[in-house]
Chains A and B, each alone.
Chain A
């Protein structure tokens, strides 16, 4: 069975659960489950032992769980559970961006643009910590989509933000995850250390490049002995795409 079927089943289940909460069923808002909310709550907790704005203990515990997960299995949360990651991937499939030969940003430009996610992290934490409110909700696709442009969104600015994200996702696979996600930026150092990763067997590999072409994050497993990249979500698309059985495997290794 292709791993993608299993992965999409889990991603679909999480997406349906978030929609269920967003429609007002369940005892908490969908926002209460957002792991990045835990990061945003830290300063308020440190200062006053109170949660900021609409954040609560579940945000913090989810954040710690996702950090722990990254330490073990890199950004598996992004590839296997995040609803925004899932929608981004569906948009990329719609845009035909995973076809062999599809145009992608060059490696240097890609690396430079990835720095934007650290800027997004700094800006979101600065304003949240400074003002004690979730003032950037109007720029957060998770909030915009699932609240249905709810309280705190910013009219045409929010429409424009979502428009840019949709167009970006149709042009570059995983546009938001690659370049703008502050949670992704937070997970980066833990993901780098993650010890469950893809390992390549040089003897079996024919360097055909199918794995690199299938990777949503433009990682090139064909050039590595083990995928240590902070961007790897352990989605296993590369393993599924590899025509040489046993050439790419999932292993626990330092």
Chain B
């Protein structure tokens, strides 16, 4: 069967958009951690600085041992973190303050590694 030439670009564009649309079927976290305890609320943050598995691991370490944080899932390519937390022990603004707190460097300077661009 003859195929018209314009079929090729149409097919390629369909594949690219199809691939883009299909992404939600493969959503898996870059890294996740459970800290124990019960979390009845969920907070979704868009986090600037959350770029890869390394930064995701560092990000989650900031919440280790913090009361009220039950679990965190990070999605690096979407720059997204999902918290489950106990609202009687911690609030969304506490969660934001922890991620945005300046981190001391060895030379004494301090840098802000993460910034919460959006909260939901």
Q: Which residues of A contact B (CB under 8 A)?
A: 3, 6-7, 10, 14, 27-29, 32, 35, 45, 49-66, 68-69, 72-73, 76-77, 80-81, 132-133, 196, 234, 236, 239, 249-253
Contact = CB atoms under 8 A, between A and B. Distances in A.
Contacts of A51: 28-30, 53, 76-77
Contacts of A69: 11-12, 15
Contacts of A29: 51, 77
* Interface band, chain B: 35 or more
Contacts of B77: 28-29, 32, 51, 54-59
A6 B6 CA distance: 9
Contacts of B52: 53-54
A236 B8 contact: yes
A68 B2 CA distance: 20
B3 to A, nearest CB: 5
Contacts of A66: 15, 19
Contacts of B104: none
B106 interface: no
B46 to A, nearest CB: 9
A234 B10 CA distance: 13
A54 B51 contact: yes
Interface in B18-77: 18-32, 51-54, 75-77
Contact of A250 (B2, B22, B26, B53): B2
A236 B29 CA distance: 41
Nearest to A55: B77
Contacts of A59: 77
Contact of A77 (B12, B18, B25, B78): B12
Contacts of B78: 27-28, 56
A250 B19 contact: no
B3 A252 contact: yes
A56 B75 contact: yes
A46 to B, nearest CB: 11
Contacts of B22: 61, 64-65
Contacts of B15: 65-66, 68-69, 77
Contacts of A76: 8, 11-12
A123 B6 CA distance: 37
Nearest to A65: B19
Contact of A252 (B1, B23, B30, B51): B1
A62 B23 CA distance: 8
